[in-house]
Amino acid sequence: MPSEIDMQHYHELESRMRSAADVWPSEDRAAGVLARVMERRRGGSPTRGRAVLAVSLVALVLLVVAAAGLGTARSADEKKTPGNSVAEHPDMSAGPAYAGRDEPGIDYDSLQGQATRFDTAEDAGRAFGVTLSVLEGAGDNEFIAAWVSKPETSPQYLLVEYSDGSVVDITYVGDEAALLADPGTRDADIAPLISVVRVNGVDAYAIGRREADPSVDENGAIRPGTGVYVGSSRISWVAGPYAVRVMGHARDVAGLLPIAEGVSLTY
């Protein structure tokens, strides 16, 4: 057991923690959670039992909302954080994530301060110190812009943005390129989802977009292969000190392959 002095410190710390975290949900947010529970039940097969349950839950939502006097559950807009920043929400990035279903995207506000915009991939490549060409004018997936990180940013990166939200991300990470290019081969949940594809003669990892809701057993343990969310499809490989990642939430792996094969990088 802790000493008396320790106990006093812990009491102070408890008080500080209570002031530091606003954990309690408002009634309207709680109603939003309940609405989501109901929504998931509605997603199942339309049996009579489910219909009865849905009615019951609707009543419960209304009760909770009425108690708060705060209108209905959160709107769809509120569920998304403006900006779709990769960094603000890890689950919005292209990598595997557990919770959250928001789509990935580029945080233009952050890029404005940290990167320079180029109108062609060739110009961006020159600024980045490489020779680069990418797939352009591919019908429904037009090249929009390329971005190169400013010298003070670490790690250094070059992004190519396409009209359907696909992104080519080339990051200079030296010895850690293999780590960055690996979408999760050492994670037991993710590894079975990863395949190897050939991109211009090089082996690349490929993983498709996926939303597998978690399923738990009676002990509360998540069953293998469930609870896996991959925010966007990805093909990634190592090119010397660079990790190259082609990502897209609107495409599957086969749809991304032409973009990946369109990347020509000489360093």
Partner 1 sequence: MDPSLFEAVWREHYRGLIAYCSYSTGSRTDGEEIAAEVFSQLLESRRAIDPGRVGAWLFAVARNMCASHHRRATRQRRLTVRLVPPDHAAAASDVWKDEHLWAAVRALNERGRLAVYLRVFEGRPFIEIAELMGVSESAAKMTYYRAMKRVRDAVSEVSAEELRSDSGGVTDAE
Residues of span 18-47 touching partner 1 by CB under 8 A: 18-25, 29-30, 32-34, 36-37, 40-41
Asked if 103 interacts with partner 1 (CB under 8 A), we say no
Nearest C-alpha neighbor of 80 from the set 107, 102, 49: 102
| Options 28, 122, 123, 187; binder of partner 1; rule CB under 8 A | 187
The H-assigned helical ranges of 106-176 are 108-114, 121-128
Structure tokens at 95: 């990598």
Contact window for partner 1 (CB under 8 A) among 116-124, 135-143, 221-229, 258-266? 221-229
| Options 75, 195, 200, 215; binder of partner 1; rule CB under 8 A | 215
| E strand or H helix at 243 | strand 242-248
- Which residues in the 234-263 window bind partner 1 by CB under 8 A? none
Residues 158, 125: Cα–Cα separation, whole Å: 8
| Options 8, 42, 52, 264; binder of partner 1; rule CB under 8 A | 52
Contact window for partner 1 (CB under 8 A) among 80-88, 124-132, 197-205, 251-259? 80-88
| Options 8, 42, 66, 98; binder of partner 1; rule CB under 8 A | 98
| Options 8, 42, 62, 87; binder of partner 1; rule CB under 8 A | 87
Residues 144, 164: Cα–Cα separation, whole Å: 10
Residue 232: strand, helix, or coil: coil
Q: How far is Cα of residue 149 from the mean position of the Cα atoms in its chain?
A: 21
